[in-house]
Amino acid sequence: DIQMTQSPSSLSASVGDRVTITCQASQDISKYLNWYQQKPGKAPKLLIYDASNLETGVPSRFSGSGSGTDFTFTISSLQSEDIATYFCQQYDNNPLTFGGGTKVEIK
Binding site for another protein (CB under 8 A): 32, 34, 36, 43-46, 49-50, 55, 87, 89, 91, 94-101
Q: Which is nearer to another protein, 17 or 100 (CB)?
A: 100
Looking at the Cβ atoms of 82 and 89, the one nearer to another protein is 89
Shortest Å, Cβ 72 to another protein: 19
**Residues paired with 83 in a beta bridge:** none
Q: How far is the CB of 95 from another protein (least distance, A)?
A: 4
Q: Give me the least distance between CB of 14 and another protein, in Å please.
A: 26
Q: CB-wise, 83 or 96, nearer to another protein?
A: 96
CB of 45 to another protein, least distance (A): 8
Give Cα 92 distance to the centre of its chain: 16
Exposure letters 61-91 (e unless 16+ CB within 10 A, then b):
ebbbebeebebbbbbeebeeebebbbbbbbe
d(CA 51, CA 37): 14
CA distances in angstroms from 75 to 2, 14, 36, 64, 92, listed in the order given: 26, 12, 13, 9, 25
Toward another protein, which CB reaches closer, 15 or 46?
A: 46
